[in-house]
Structure 1
Amino acid sequence: MVAFGKKLKQRQIEEWQRYYINYKLMKKKVKQYAQQIEVGMQDRRHVLKDFSRMLDNQIEKIVLFLLEQQGLLASRISKLGEKHNALQHQPDISQICELREAYRDVGRDLLKLLFFVEVNAIGLRKILKKFDKRFGYRFTDYYVKTRANHPYSQLQQVFKHVGIGAVVGAVSRNLHELQDRQGSYLSIYDQPALPLQDPVIDSIKAAVDRLTHSTNFLNFLAQHALIMQEELPTPVGEHVDDQKYHFISLILNLANTFLYMVNTYIIVPTADDYSMSLGAAATVCGVVIGSMAVAQVFSSVYFSAWSNKSYFRPLVFSSIVLFVGNTLYALAFDLHSIWVLLIGRLFCGLGSARAVNRRYISDCVPLKYRMQASAGFVSASALGMACGPAFAGLLQTDFKIYKLTFNQVTLPGWVMAVAWLIYLIWLWISFKEPPHDETEENQMPQESNAETVENDGLEKGLKQPLLISSEDQQQDEDGDLECDESEEASEESRRPATSIQSAYRLLTPSVKVQLLIYFMLKYAMEILLSESSVVTTYYFGWSTSKVAIFLACIGLTVLPVNIVVGSYISNMFEDRQILLASEIMVCIGILLSFHIIVPYSVVQYVGSGLIMFVSAEVLEGVNLSLLSRVMSSRLSRGTYNGGLLSTEAGTLARVVADGTITLAGYLGESRLLNITLLPSLVICISSILATCYTYNSLY
């Protein structure tokens, strides 16, 4: 097992090693501070000041070297520019080829410089986190607040690569002019639609995007999956093991995701009618819808554990259980039993293999395809969410075959039972079980990438105890032994969490706040969707078809919203700014949904519902992005991983929301809307306050 400090050193460019952040020295310094405080030789104020000065010196060393290298690159580009200008008057194919290769050499050196900056940015975040974890007070909060927005901030030079953009632009423009149209000298500004066919520029663009946290639609969409990437940047040309990758198996995983989401939401428009046909109240639809989520709380854990040994077997089991569950759901009408109906939905929840779907992408899809696969996972979920109610709206018929009834309330069950049977056959024929490491649980966890890692310092306030417990003194989340001078990590400290309790101990205040936000947004969305049929029937007299159209339209907003946010908004504002703004918009949507005095209108309901849902969808992307960034790297793999924790938080939110709908129904349908919105409002306001408290730790 390799500790982070040693891993960081291995990724350094050898000839530049003395210009990198001295992570090992600073880690030792943190240990010395702890010893000095224990014996009363130092106070916290002096430690804070001394460590800040040391960190400032380290950053200045990095920045000055960065500026020096930028100057050297600029000088080389200037000299090449003179040759470039000369060729415009006397074009020569061989000289153009030489010049293009010279620009590529500059591009490769620029890529090395970007790699240098990225590794240092990760090291800085790690040492800030280590300081916070060791002493238990908010040094990161203080340091970021005082340095990040200062007009002379050198911290911005590292994290925002100030000045490198001009070098990137110069190399890109000249290589664009010299690409395979020798002598044409087309400008990148005049022909923006023409692709730049050069792998060096593609690599530079990817490195700049990682460093600046800039993103695109695919990136932003992929963040919703909370599938961890590499922590440290991968050197150019490093081999990626593709032996586990099988395209059809990936498609089958995505198909499972799609069908499960269709299965979840296909009953929403008719659940209240089904409940009443079996002699129950319309608001029992909350229990009917939520029973699937109740079972999913447990199924997520055993499926996640099962995926340590196999992917094929849990997917087969999932398909069989879902086939049985949907058959029972459909038969409940003729058996006239609400209990059969609920058991059927519980079976459907027990067949939830989303943990397997997510784990397959994380473990078996090569890094170069993982972002697209993660985006596919989210897209399949969103499409299934929209298609479920839409299919329900189309199933408006009523007939019998022998003693079996096929109508709008039973057809969702029959249709999904057939769909899972067909999927099971396809799965059995086409799925390829990847090579599986039996000891995967004991391996070093895969770290997340530069955008998704390091900031999980403990923000416990200056009044908290100075030192953490003796157990935590011996080892930290990175796997570095604080009581040992070596950079080797203990095997135990590198292992993934082995239980819910050990996973919970790794949750810092920042992580807990992000999980609270995820709980809040899933709760608000579930309240909106699950009670829509009852509320719209009571206030507006909507038919099943109208409810289905409304829910389908809401579901279809997911991808367009992510396109706008991923392509534009996320590149204009920081994630934490979008997070706070989205929470406020969700709160506004909730407030506008209340029925107070004036007659309740379709415009008010649909408008407030769209504001709430769209804001929650934006919030989900940035929330999971920040969650992966502040979460311990030990939660990136294993059974009790970050994906499982977020799934459990979201599933519990759905369970509580659906239970709230059923309980509120006892007070009458006239009070249902306001009573169910009150908890949403309280949780939303709490999450906003909690976000403000941890805001500076989300840098």
Structure 2
Amino acid sequence: MVKFGKRLAMSVNPLWEGQYLEYRQLKKELKKLSTPTGSDAEGSSSPSSALAQPKDGHARFQKKLDSEIEKIVLFFLTKQGEFASRLSAFRAQQLVATTSSPSTESEIETINALANGYRDIGEELVKLLYYVELNATGLRKILKKHDKNHKGKKITANYINSRVESNVSHLQQLYHDEGISAIIASIRAALDELRTLQMQVSGTNHEAAAATLTRSISEDEPILNRISVARQRLHQSTRYAKTIAAQALIFDSDLSDDEEEMLLKTIKMQKPSPISRFLNMFSTFLYMTNYYIVAPTSGEYATLLGGTAALSGVIVGMTPVASMLSAVLYSWWANRSFRNPLLFSTVCLVLGNLLYALALSYNSISMVLVGRLLNGFGGARSINRRYIADNYSREERTGASALFVTYSALGMSAGPAMAAVLNYIPDDLRVFGYLVTIETSPGWLMFVVWSVYCVAIVAFFQEPNRDARVCGVLNSTHTIQVWILGFSPNFFDFFCSFFAKSFSRYPFDHHIYNKCIIYAQSVVWIGRNSTPNVI
């Protein structure tokens, strides 16, 4: 694997040389801290100078790092200003082109020139995004290298905390791209308007347009896609830098740079299998089908068992009552596993439908009610939602939530539709010697379906690797540092000490205490990063 210093040197834009993080120079500064010079050794006879020298060296390193960050951020802002000025000039030309009525040929030439100008800005913007990503990675690595080489003088947590919490900070600008968002929005809007204008001009005079048109403006411009990819990479890099807000900035880590990059790739690769995702979604479809399939025949079923048709509402309503109770259990259980609660809920549904189907043979309305109660207790929708929240990326989550609602709606429609089809079953059909009627057929059908689904869960559903996910963002064997995502060090210390004192009077497992702290950090991190950037 190529060392980061070499990768940085190979990736330098010649036009921007001198504006990148001086990674090699900073590494030399670190070596100076580790290897005192001869003059330092001679002066070390004085105890006070021996103590002051390392402290001054670390302070010089931080000052050098501040200077590098300032250089990078000022260049970043300067380029944004240049892009904004060029965009402003192009937009003014575009406004003139849309309001005036010159010849078709000159109009198309203007459109081509403006479109190429916007594309050029987009190309440079892609390079700028890569520039920021590269320097943000370099900053993270040099801080990590410092703490690894000087374990008694770790500065990462305090350095980041003091700069981020400051009202005036260059470091904050490195991870904020609101200006980039505005530039992207302007390019997108300008190209959309030019495309509309191009279509109007082409429609007016096809021959002149064909003669002068060099390149059409597509709705899905390649440069916009490239900007989107570059920005997504930057967000992944800064999200991982925020994972330093859950790892290197909160937890001490002794991983090397190569091991760290391999860890990041491992985290990205740990996605649930497509079959597991499908089974999770299909669970909610089957449950909603099971919920509504008995509605058309439940009144007649109650009458056959000696009750009244009014019991139909009770039979149908037993399921949601039980699902309210089971939601509490499944919410707790889903913190530990997905496969086991899904299996348990499926077994409840298998037994519930079997009781519902056998109730007529035993002339017991109680079996119907207990069966429907078990069906409700097998409602795993809280597990399905939690699975989506935990095992889909932020980009995938909106689509997965929409798919979840779609599966639910399809199940609500499929239930009554299947009940209508079951009206055509033969009169003498028997299963295991038990007579199958129109009233009991929904129970028998769902019994078979849920049994097959249970086998599919056992055979194909893969439990997400929770340990690997946790290790991807923290190393729980190390000490928790004081910097935590928006909380001040004093507040976090107060929270930890209060939490420990509150439980000190009871037999207490410190492993559980550490887990509770980890969960608290996770809640804060998720809350502060749950809103995606809007282009």
User: TM-score, with normalisation over the residues of structure 1?
Assistant: 0.38
Of Structure 1 and Structure 2, the greater helix share is in 2
Query: Based on CA coordinates, which of the two structures has the bigger radius of gyration?
Result: 2
**TM-score, reference length from structure 2:** 0.49
